[in-house]
Amino acid sequence: MIRIEMKPLKIGNIVIRNPIIAAPLAGVSDKAYRKILKENDVPLVFTEMVSAKALIYDSRKSKKIVDVSGEVNPIGMQIFGGNINEINQSAKYLESIGADLIDFNIGCPAPKIVKNNEGSGLLKDPVGAIKILENLVNSVSVPVTLKIRKGFDEGYFDAMPIIKEAENIGVKAIFIHGRFREQYYSGKADWDYIKMVKDSVKIPVIGNGDVNDPYSAEKILNETGCDGILVGRGFLGNPFLFKEIIEYFNKGEIISISNEEKISVALRQLDYAVEDKGEYLAIREMRKHLGWYLKGIRNGAYFRNLINTCDDMEELKNLINDILMR
């Protein structure tokens, strides 16, 4: 396979030297997670996707999701919705609190969102989607990007008309997930579609889907020619993936992450979560993250069960140390 050299990516006024970007993941991409990714050199991270309607109606939970105080820029924020005025108002709010770019979601497959003609539901209404995007671009001064799937279902509601018009109205980059909405996260991502998008527009195209290691990162870049990679599930329990990919691209070698390093990072993420949310909530929300750090270890299911019943901070730290040092 041909070796590749990553080129810097410019999205509006944001320059990303090695464009391997962390996707917004609902219930995952909180402040502690973002801090850990930044400490491991991930150049651009996103807050969790947030509802435009909830933001303008002053939802405390939604405003907590987009609290980026004390974090390292650049940071993107992603919104979803179907009402132009709500989207414009929420985008202005996000800009005011520090969003370096605002991404509009036409990719979320969740039924409760799709039934409201939001997220992937907008794939059925390309005219409405473009109208939303055009107003959004004109409502803020920071770059606006688009996260979109290849279509709603096989043979119907292809995303390409939205993608092409998005370029014309000033959207600065496309994050394209190579799956239909009806696939959710199953099956294989269609990298041929990502290539077609890249060949069809002049703005940056960032490929998304099935990048979990340095080999798949190299493969998607070689096969699609895309300008960057949006990594979602590949970062779960492995915030080191960015460094692994860059080391592989530069030297052709896969670096080894020791259990000691995993322990240090996992426990630091736990500390950040406690600092941000308090011990009670942090321990419960960190259980899934700690389980991901344990992926691949012997008797992992047994240890995850122990973690999921642990309510005490010190006991949990001792348990993680004991597990990973075996």
Q: What residues contact residue 121 under an 8 Å CB cut-off, 6+ apart? A: 82, 113, 114, 115
Query: In the prediction, which pLDDT does 321 show?
Result: 81
Copy the structure tokens of residue 171.
């959207």
Active site residues: 108
CB 322 within 8 A of CB 265: no
Q: What residues contact residue 12 under an 8 Å CB cut-off, 6+ apart? A: 101, 142, 143, 172
Span 65-112, pLDDT tens digits = 999 999 999 999 999 999 999 999 999 999 999 999 999 999 999 999
Copy the structure tokens of residue 258.
């020791």
Quote the crossing angle between the two packed helices 191-200 and 160-168, to the nearest 10°.
30
Query: In the prediction, which pLDDT does 296 show?
Result: 75
Residue 123 CB-density burial (10 A; 0-12 exposed, 13-18 middle, 19+ buried): buried
Q: What is the arithmetic mean of pLDDT over 117-129?
A: 95
Q: How would you label 253-272 residue by residue, b for 16+ Cβ within 10 Å and e otherwise?
A: eeeeeeeeebbebbbebbbb
CB 21 within 8 A of CB 231: yes
pLDDT tier for residue 59 given thresholds of 50, 70 and 90: confident
Span 134-155, pLDDT tens digits = 999 999 999 999 999 999 988 7
Average pLDDT, the chain: 93
State the residue for tokens 């609190």: 97
Span 276-302, pLDDT tens digits = 999 999 999 999 999 999 887 777 788
Residue 144 CB-density burial (10 A; 0-12 exposed, 13-18 middle, 19+ buried): buried
CB 175 within 8 A of CB 197: no
Q: What is the arithmetic mean of pLDDT over 162-177?
A: 97
CATH numbers and ranges of domains, the chain? 9-251 (3.20.20.70), 259-324 (1.10.1200)
Residues 90/93/95/100 CA torsion (nearest 10 deg): -70
Peptide bond into 161 cis (omega under 30): no
Query: In the prediction, which pLDDT does 297 show?
Result: 76
Span 1-54, pLDDT tens digits = 556 778 999 999 999 999 999 999 999 999 999 999 999 999 999 999 999 999
Q: What is the arithmetic mean of pLDDT over 56-67?
A: 92
pLDDT tier for residue 259 given thresholds of 50, 70 and 90: confident
Q: What percent of the chain has pLDDT over 70?
A: 98
* Helix (H), strand (E), coil (C) string for 64-91: HHCCCCCCCCCEEEEEECCCHHHHHHHH
Per DSSP bridges, beta strands 205-208 and 45-46 are unpaired
Q: What residues contact residue 61 under an 8 Å CB cut-off, 6+ apart? A: 54
